[in-house]
Amino acid sequence: MYLTIRHETSYRYEATVHYSIQQLRLTPASGASQVVRRWSIDAPGKLDAAFDAYGNALHTLVINKPHREIRLYVAGEVDTIALKDGRLADDAGPIPLEHFTCATRLTEADVAIRELAASVPELASASSLIALSERIVEKVRYNPGITEVTSTAAQALALGNGVCQDHAHLMLACCRARGVPARYVSGYIEPGDVPHAASHAWVDVWLDGTGWVSVDVTHAAFASEIYCRLAVARDYEAAAPVRGRRIGGMEEHLDVSVTVSAQTGQ
């Protein structure tokens, strides 16, 4: 499938910002599930390119002159490849699998999460991952505006509401509570008629004998050719598309616009 992606992020500040630094994980890589045809980032300054510890493309933007606004514009085209039952790769990759069994602040398992994780008898097959996803979305309804990017999996479960990020963190917490390696994925989805944002989050889970299996917890389905991967990490904090710090500015106003369109036969 051929995906066309446009992503605009705008930060506006009530007062002058004297210094800001932004880390951008907004560049997909070609791999088992996609081939990047064209990609560009337009930013108000020089972008220093590197790779982070997970191998994600990382661009750093530093603005050290007074400003009241930052606009980032991403555009590109990606050919995506259908995955059988979400099977992404049988190669574990450069990061030891044990790293993805360790809880983080956002994925720490409490008693309720451990009970949820135990509600599926085993986590050794692709079908069991879908079953756990179904349990998660039963417990946590998709409801924007209730949680924040700093909300933990335990908080989302207690609230019974969340978004794709919360569903992904809950899956990570459940898998890790049972010693199963799992990693967070940020990216895009062609949403079709489903009222979910085109910016999306899902998970990869390592199954012995199978490899990484990519699962969209929010839809209780395997990731398919309508998905474009941007970055992987242990949780949102390490895979966020945009993260930054600033000096000054007072209150911040954020606007994000993402469109993903799909075509076949390109």
The 8-class DSSP code of residue 34 comes to: E
Copy the structure tokens of residue 150: 């700093």
Domains 2-79+241-263 and 83-239 share a fold: no
pLDDT at 194: 62
Q: Find residue 247's DSSP bridge partners.
A: 19
Backbone φ and ψ of 93, nearest 5°: 95, 180
Backbone φ and ψ of 102, nearest 5°: -90, 130
**Cα 121 to chain centroid, rounded:** 27
pLDDT at 138: 98
pLDDT by residue for the chain (266 residues), tens digit each? 999 999 999 999 999 999 999 999 999 999 999 999 999 999 999 999 999 999 999 999 999 999 999 999 999 999 999 999 999 988 899 999 999 999 999 999 999 999 999 999 999 999 999 999 999 999 999 999 999 999 999 999 999 999 999 999 999 999 999 999 999 999 999 988 665 568 999 999 999 999 999 999 999 999 999 999 999 999 999 999 999 999 999 999 999 999 999 997 55
Q: Are 99 and 36 in contact (CB under 8 A)?
A: no
pLDDT at 264: 79
Please give the Cα distance from 188 to 162 (Å, whole number): 18
Q: Are 116 and 253 in contact (CB under 8 A)?
A: no
Return the exposure string of 102-138: e unless at least 16 CB atoms fall within 10 Å of the residue's CB, then b: ebbebbebbeebeebbeebeebeebebbbbbbebbbe
What would the CATH number be for the domain defined by 2-79+241-263?
A: 2.60.40.2250
Copy the structure tokens of residue 170: 């809950």
Please give the Cα distance from 107 to 99 (Å, whole number): 13
- Which residues, in sequence order, are CB contacts of 187 under 8 Å at separation 6+? 28, 199, 200, 201, 202, 227, 228, 229, 230, 231
CA nearest to 79, candidates 186, 8, 4: 4
What would the CATH number be for the domain defined by 83-239?
A: 3.10.620.30
Domain boundaries, the chain: 2-79+241-263, 83-239
